[in-house]
Copies of this chain bind each other. A is one copy, B any other.
Amino acid sequence: MKPPDDRTELALGAGAEFDAIRTMLARWGPRATGIGDDAAVLDVPRGDALVASVDTALEGRHFQPGWLTAREIGYRAVTAALSDLAAMAARPLGVLVAMNLPSSTTGMLPEIAAGVGDALDAAGTHILGGNVAAADVLCLTTTVLGSAFRPIARGGMRPGDFIYVTGRFGGPASAVAAWSSGREPTPTHRARFAHPVARLREARWLADRGATAAIDISDGLAADLEHVAAASGVGADIDLDSLPLIEGVTDPLRGAASGEEYELLIGSPGELNAAEFERAFQLPLTAIGRATRREAGVTFRRGGERVAKPSGYDHLSR
């Protein structure tokens, strides 16, 4: 974020962007550090690697008009980006947010900024910079910066590893299905879509206790497990009956296909203490299967029998 008298103001002209940036800075308060020069300057903890990722939330593509409040749009965009740091067991250092703002969204800006602030607070981090441009379609592109002494990743699963997931599945898919057929989702399902949580502390807890592979579940558990298996060069044997489902969802296939969960899928050579995890985070940690040799492929079972792979969450079908 450049100071209000920067080129971004000129790009909007006549004070509109000045007002936009001032509105956001007023909402962010002390969470907006490092703002005001051509770039932010920050320290990476000595010995840590820098971890960086970027994610885009585009209206009409990643969410539809009417689904989310302005505050939820800001919260969800930043939280989804932060979830990529959780997948690496990284600690957030800060975020940069580039916003494309239609003039029709001017009134929403304080609430979008408040939602961004909610996401920063939830992650215990702050905003380092950004950009504002006048545009036809609302779009938030969030860059997340974090650090980790020993990042974990998709490629760290080995045959025999225990496979765990955090949380309860099926909420976002159920919310999208409801909206897409003209119904309002249940509050529980809606909250899982509109208020996901980046499992940052959970990921570091798990990495500290021996987890060696992680991915955040954005395409659906089944699809994301295949990404991990491919990156790790392993197969997997998954018992869908063990998958925890959100209230109101009974079909584990829906749970395993539901995207945008932002829960974690974890590989660990040793068993993890699920009871201790649940006490620490008030969130289930559930073993759902084991990694196998690559040649065995990725297998999903119900009642002990193989079933077809639950199909990934299709963003286009929303």
A145 touches B38 (CB 8 A): no
A284 within 8 A of B: no
Q: Give the most central of A94, A151, A230: most B CB within 10 Å.
A: A151
B5 touches A36 (CB 8 A): no
Give me 7 other A-B pairs in contact (C-beta within 8 A), A5-B223, A5-B226, A58-B100 excluded: A3-B227, A3-B231, A6-B218, A11-B316, A44-B50, A54-B130, A56-B133
**Residues of B contacting A151 with CB < 8 Å?**
39, 41
Which stretch from A116-124, A134-142, A268-276 is at the chain B interface?
A134-142
A49 touches B42 (CB 8 A): yes
A183 within 8 A of B: no
A43 within 8 A of B: yes
Tell which of B38, B54, B62 touches A143, judged by Cβ atoms closer than 8 Å: B54
Which interface class (under 10, 10 to 19, 20 to 34, 35 or more) fits A? 35 or more
Q: Return the chain B residue nearest A1 by Cβ.
A: B54
Q: List 30 A-B contacts (CB under 8 A).
A: A6-B218, A7-B219, A7-B315, A10-B219, A10-B316, A13-B316, A36-B154, A37-B155, A38-B84, A39-B51, A39-B52, A39-B84, A39-B88, A39-B146, A40-B51, A41-B88, A41-B153, A44-B50, A46-B46, A50-B50, A50-B145, A52-B94, A53-B96, A54-B129, A54-B130, A56-B141, A58-B133, A62-B133, A135-B139, A139-B139
A266 within 8 A of B: no
Tell which of B50, B139, B141, B313 touches A43, judged by Cβ atoms closer than 8 Å: B50
CB distance from A60 to the nearest CB of B (A): 8
Binding site for B on A (CB under 8 A): 3, 5-7, 10-13, 36-44, 46, 49-56, 58, 60-62, 84-85, 87-88, 90, 93-94, 96-98, 100, 128-131, 133-137, 139, 141, 143-146, 148, 151, 153-155, 215-216, 218-219, 223, 226-227, 230-231, 259, 312-316
User: Dominant SS at the A interface?
Assistant: mixed
A53 touches B41 (CB 8 A): no
Q: Give the most central of A40, A62, A230: most B CB within 10 Å.
A: A40
CB distance from A72 to the nearest CB of B (A): 19
B37 touches A88 (CB 8 A): yes
Tell me, in angstroms, the Cα distance from A93 to B51 when the chains sit together. Answer: 12
Tell me, in angstroms, the Cα distance from A162 to B133 when the chains sit together. Answer: 34
Tell me, in angstroms, the Cα distance from A134 to B59 when the chains sit together. Answer: 11
